[in-house]
């Protein structure tokens, strides 16, 4: 089959590499609005051919949307006229808002997927080999899809080495918030806290593994994460409330010098890694 990818940054570029590596696609096509981005895609040989959007729609059996979540919504009108045999998949980090806005004309075609993988880098040069292998992909609300589209999506993700999890889009957004969206909010907050308090020389001299690990994802695309926070606003606010409760708890224990309780609280946190 021919696979067309819209958005050839970290996620889209890496899936282009993966479907080529495992010879899943006869041809891999790409679409890019920006001339500089298109030039980088061609230099990196991420796709067999860059096309206009109309050409990509006509020539692709599968269309993958690897673009920010608000841009996915914006693409819907342009995709209403695809063939009923063309599978459309998105790789967005939120799912419920996207699913609710899929036009009826393409609802049976459209597979809502979220590969639980990534790095803090973005753009075509961020594309890497092996991004998807051994990782989990969440497929949402598959009962709304025709069998041909459901089976294609499952096969592609299995063939590039992913584990499959099936979930309702509403449940996905709650879980993804705690596993991904809240950690990004915390990382951005930590980075801004340090930037507002420390001078650059101190940061360079003293920043060690713990700070670097926690602040790494604060290098992620602000445009992409603004869209994610907007689409998953309610769940994010709920998770921030809960996080603030725990921050107040540790503050109270330190203020009261209740180090026995603090030790038990931290031991409970240690037990997370028995699950991971």
pTM here? 0.88
* Amino acid 13: pLDDT: 97
Q: What percent of the chain has pLDDT over 70?
A: 100
Q: Could you give the strand order of the β-sheet that contains 110-116, starting from the edge strand earlier in sequence? A: 49-50, 27-31, 2-6, 62-65, 87-90, 110-116, 136-140, 163-167
| φ/ψ (deg, to 5) at 220 | -65, 160
Q: How far apart are the first and last CA of the chain?
A: 37
Q: How far apart are CA 89 and CA 36, in angstroms?
A: 25
The yes or no reply on domain 2-167 and CATH 3.40.50.720 is yes
* Amino acid 182: pLDDT: 97
Of 1.10.3660.10, 3.40.50.300, 3.30.365.10, 3.20.20.450, the CATH number of 172-275 is 1.10.3660.10
Segments making up each domain of the chain, as ranges: 2-167, 172-275
* Amino acid 106: pLDDT: 97
Tens-digit pLDDT profile for residues 174-213 = 999 999 999 999 999 999 998 888 787 787 777 777 888 8
The residues pairing with 112 across neighbouring beta strands, listed in sequence order, are 90, 140
Helices vs strands, H then E, count in the chain: 14, 8
Mean predicted confidence (pLDDT) in 269-275: 87
CB atoms within 10 A of CB 217: 19
Tens-digit pLDDT profile for residues 60-86 = 999 999 999 999 999 999 999 999 999
Longest Cα–Cα distance of the chain, Å, equals 68
pLDDT(273) > 90: no
Do the beta carbons of residue 59 and residue 124 sit within 8 Å? no
Q: How far apart are CA 19 and CA 15, in angstroms?
A: 6
């Amino acid at each position: 089959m021919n696979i067309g990818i819209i958005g050839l940054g970290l996620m889209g570029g890496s899936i282009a590499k993966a479907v080529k590596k495992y010879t899943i696609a006869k041809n891999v096509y790409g679409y890019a609005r920006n001339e500089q981005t298109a030039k980088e895609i061609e230099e990196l040989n991420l796709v067999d051919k860059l096309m206009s959007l109309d050409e990509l729609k006509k020539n692709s059996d599968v269309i993958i949307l690897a673009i920010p979540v608000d841009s996915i919504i914006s693409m819907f009108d342009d995709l209403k006229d695809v063939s009923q045999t063309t599978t459309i998949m998105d790789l967005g980090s939120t799912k419920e808002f996207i699913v609710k806005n899929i036009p009826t004309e393409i609802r049976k075609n459209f597979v809502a997927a979220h590969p639980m993988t990534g790095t803090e880098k973005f753009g075509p040069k961020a594309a890497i080999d092996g991004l998807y292998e051994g990782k989990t992909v969440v497929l949402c609300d598959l009962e709304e899809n025709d069998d041909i589209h459901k089976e294609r999506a499952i096969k592609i993700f299995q063939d590039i080495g992913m584990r499959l999890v099936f979930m309702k889009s509403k449940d996905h957004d709650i879980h993804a918030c705690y596993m991904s969206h809240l950690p990004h909010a915390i990382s951005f907050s930590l980075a801004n806290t340090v930037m507002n308090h420390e001078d650059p020389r101190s940061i360079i001299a003293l920043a060690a593994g713990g700070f670097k690990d926690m602040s790494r994802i604060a290098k992620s695309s602000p445009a992409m994460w603004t869209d994610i926070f907007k689409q998953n606003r309610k769940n994010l606010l709920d998770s921030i409330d809960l996080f603030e409760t725990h921050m107040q708890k540790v503050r109270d224990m330190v203020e009261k010098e209740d180090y026995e309780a603090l030790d038990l609280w931290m031991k409970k946190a240690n037990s997370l890694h028995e699950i991971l």
